[in-house]
């Protein structure tokens, strides 16, 4: 029997209240070997979640972003056991500098598949959740893309796009900057929450050159269960039970996805991401 989402939501809310919010914009930062930032809040939140999740569901293993690389490899070496995939603080650079856009992301992976997901924004007290095949929710509201304000086909120029330029090939990034097909562009800096904002219709298009497992494991399930569409730049499913970075092309409706992906394909250098 899978974990109860309400209990999981309460666990993450309490941990965020205790470990993250008191440290917001008031922590010492360190730079990891890959150039990303880590703070004491990342470590404290990861330890707290590992303990709390093990207390309620000892049958599942735990993979956290701040664990050592050899532990990541060991935990993803088999799909036999259920595994919590956790980013204890997605958007650490925002968090450390006082930008209120960060989240906690969890996904439960069983037999190499996403079974449930939770992404929590403690600043707005917004909890995005999903169960595979059962739908997605924002707090108590069901997420169904296009249900309230459908976007007509061929309307890409009216869309807001979330684009991470940093990890794109130079040619594609340059063409997006010089002749964007969309109306306007944002880059928020917390991948898991970006997936969820797309799932809630707060923007319409998404492009990212490379996300880690803990960046997309939760958010991609939430988007899919809300009715959104995504693939990699190479037309593969975004979710992969492994550590190699994955690109993301996503949109809120099938028509927008088709138009967005076609534009990207026409403007990419052959064989490049």
pLDDT tens, residue by residue, 128-145: 999 999 999 999 999 998
pLDDT above 80 (res 80): no
The pLDDT tens digits for 14-61 are 999 999 999 997 766 555 566 566 789 999 999 999 999 999 999 999
> What is the per-residue pLDDT for 17?
97
SS3 content of the chain, % helix, strand, coil (to 5): 35, 25, 35
Averaged pLDDT, 236-263 = 95
Neighbours of 25 (CB within 10 A): 11
> What is the per-residue pLDDT for 243?
94
Please name the residues in contact with 61: beta carbons below 8 A apart, sequence gap of 6 or more.
Answer: 75, 81, 82, 83, 84
Averaged pLDDT, 263-272 = 80
> What is the per-residue pLDDT for 76?
86
> What is the per-residue pLDDT for 74?
87
Q: Whole-angstrom distance between the N-terminal and C-terminal Cα of the chain?
A: 40
User: What is the pLDDT of the chain when averaged over all its residues?
Assistant: 91
Domains of the chain and any CATH numbers: 5-142 (3.30.540.10), 156-267 (3.40.190.80)
Please name the residues in contact with 124: beta carbons below 8 A apart, sequence gap of 6 or more.
Answer: none
Contact criterion met (CB below 8 Å) for 206 and 224: no
pLDDT above 90 (res 66): no
What are 121's strand-pairing partners? 126
């Amino acid at each position: 029997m899978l974990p109860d989402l309400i209990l999981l939501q309460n666990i993450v809310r309490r941990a965020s209240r205790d470990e993250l919010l008191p440290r917001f914009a008031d922590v010492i930062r360190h730079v990891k070997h890959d150039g990303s930032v880590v703070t004491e809040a990342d470590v404290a939140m990861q330890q707290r979640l590992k303990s709390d999740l093990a207390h309620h569901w000892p049958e599942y293993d735990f993979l956290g972003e701040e664990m050592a690389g050899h532990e990541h490899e060991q935990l993803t070496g088999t799909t036999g056991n259920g595994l919590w995939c956790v980013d204890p603080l997605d958007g650490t650079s925002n968090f450390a500098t006082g930008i209120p856009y960060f989240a906690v992301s969890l996904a439960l992976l069983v037999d190499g598949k996403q079974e449930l997901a939770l992404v929590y924004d403690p600043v707005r007290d917004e909890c995005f959740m999903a169960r595979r095949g059962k739908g997605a929710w924002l707090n108590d509201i069901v997420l169904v893309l296009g249900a309230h304000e459908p976007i007509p086909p061929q309307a890409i120029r009216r869309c807001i796009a979330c684009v991470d330029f940093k990890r794109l090939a130079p040619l594609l990034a340059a063409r997006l900057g010089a002749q964007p097909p969309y109306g306007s562009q944002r880059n928020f800096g917390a991948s898991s929450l970006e997936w969820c904002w797309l799932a809630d219709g707060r923007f319409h298009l998404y492009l990212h050159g490379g996300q880690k497992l803990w960046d997309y494991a939760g958010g991609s399930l939430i988007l899919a269960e809300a009715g959104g569409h995504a693939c990699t730049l190479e037309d593969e499913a975004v979710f992969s039970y492994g550590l190699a970075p994955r690109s993301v092309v996503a949109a809120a409706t099938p028509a927008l996805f088709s138009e967005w992906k076609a534009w990207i394909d026409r403007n990419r250098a052959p064989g490049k991401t």
